[in-house]
Structure 1
Amino acid sequence: MDRFVEYIRENWVDLLSLTYDHIVMVVMGVVLALIVGIPLGVVCSLNRRWAALILGIANVVQVIPSLALLVMLMIVFGLGSQTVIVGLFLYSLLPIIRNTYVGLTEINSSITEAGKGVGMSPLQVLMKVQLPLSLPFIMTGVRVAAVIAIGVAAVAPFIGGDGLGREIYAGINYRNDLRIYGGAIPAALLAILADIFLGKLQKRVKLDK
């Protein structure tokens, strides 16, 4: 334990930089998934056939092992963090699409009809009634997506990416358990903190409703 504390003390600047890179990749991947996933979730709620197709494709992407998916993306996009972000985006899609879809379909139809009754257009009903009511479900999807993305980002160095995975990968190569712990423990803490923070944000959204 003392050796690990000493290692952190000596290398905290590098570890902080790697943690920052890790967070940036995760945030960018999840934000892109939100931009694409929410509209796809809306499409799913409007058309059950499209829902089966979209969710089916997202499920297929989700079951591909993370390293295999990143290697396939590397062939197309090349080495680097940008390829990792694309991979995180793809892995984050399913929970966001699925939870948006579930949130929209769980809304009582009488609420939607009330919105139409006061003269709202379908777009206004969606933006001012349905999506706000679905926000707790969407937040659940973001929460799941963020935790998944933090874990997947740990394999980024295998395709030239940055982040805490570099420390883990270096530790494996040099058989240095301190370096492995130096990358794995902060990554695990990131996942825990993201889950706690987004969980509290989700509760806040529910209370506001």
Structure 2
Amino acid sequence: MNFGEFLIRRADDMLELGLAHAAVVGGAVLISTLIGVALGVLTYQSERARETVLAITGSFLTIPSFALFILLLGPLGLGWKPVLFALVLYGLMPVVRNTITGLRGVDPAVVESAKGMGLSRRQLLLRIELPLAWPVIITGVRVTTLVLLGIAAIGAIVNGPGYGELIFTGLARVGTPVAVNMVLAGAVGVMILAVVFDLAFYTAKRLTTSRGIR
């Protein structure tokens, strides 16, 4: 059976696994974005605070994914929960870093002008700083998503959802005619999701960023 025939026969499985993969990654991106932006907003004005939060979130990326998934088996068990938790940890660093970079990159003259107009600190953040920093922030979210799509596949080691199931099943059947097709199908599925997510973020960035700062 060639690869094309394999994809046609397993089309339903590919769609089901793709939706599950997208769901766990999308959930992790949403949570890591909310936490990451909040951490960036709270720390960008203090050098010690931002260095600390960047060091902590950066340290999460140094943990091998295999090891982290196995460590999470105890408290969270098998399934999507350890995968979601791990992905949130891995997704924080790019979001925090880009939030801090974006907010610190706002022109001080614009900030001073806004203060002169009587804007409160909260109004300044919501109306001036965050909108101007948004293109940088969403780029961090975009990078996070692409990274997590690959890591999520490894979550199959703890029975996590997604294309990792195909990849690991194929690896377990090395030497059989179907093994290569299964691994390749899983890899291609992840690549297709990456393109879809990337296009979605590109579109979202254009729609949510004012023309003057694109």
Q: Which residue number corresponds to residue 207 of structure 1?
A: 211
The separation in 2 between residues aligned to 1:131 and 1:54, in whole angstroms, is 19
Using the TM superposition, give the Cα deviation of residue 179 of structure 1 relative to its aligned residue in structure 2, in angstroms: 0.8
Question: Over aligned residues, Cα RMSD in angstroms?
Answer: 1.5
Classify 1:133/1:180 alpha carbon distance in 2 versus 1 (closer, same or farther; 3 Å).
same
Please identify, of 157-166 and 184-193, the stretch whose mean Cα deviation from structure 2 is larger: 184-193
Using the TM superposition, give the Cα deviation of residue 200 of structure 1 relative to its aligned residue in structure 2, in angstroms: 4.3
Classify 1:84/1:107 alpha carbon distance in 2 versus 1 (closer, same or farther; 3 Å).
same
The separation in 1 between residues aligned to 2:73 and 2:119, in whole angstroms, is 46
Q: Per residue, is there more helix in 1 or in 2?
A: 1
Name the TM-score, length of structure 2 as normaliser: 0.92
Counterpart contact for 1:136–1:206, Cα < 8 Å: no
Counterparts in 2 of 1:46-195, with a 5 A limit?
A: 46-175=45-174, 176-195=179-198
Aligned residues: 208
Please identify, of 124-133 and 73-82, the stretch whose mean Cα deviation from structure 2 is larger: 73-82
Letter in 2 for 1:145: T
Q: Can you give the 5+ residue segments of structure 1 that lack an aligned partner in the other structure?
A: none
Counterpart contact for 2:91–2:148, Cα < 8 Å: yes
Q: Which residue number corresponds to residue 43 of structure 1?
A: 42
Classify 1:20/1:98 alpha carbon distance in 2 versus 1 (closer, same or farther; 3 Å).
same
SS class of match (1:163) = coil
Name the TM-score, length of structure 1 as normaliser: 0.94
The separation in 1 between residues aligned to 2:211 and 2:79, in whole angstroms, is 41
Counterparts in 2 of 1:20-35, with a 5 A limit?
A: 20-35=19-34
Using the TM superposition, give the Cα deviation of residue 24 of structure 1 relative to its aligned residue in structure 2, in angstroms: 0.1
The separation in 2 between residues aligned to 1:57 and 1:100, in whole angstroms, is 15
Letter in 2 for 1:24: A
The separation in 2 between residues aligned to 1:32 and 1:103, in whole angstroms, is 20
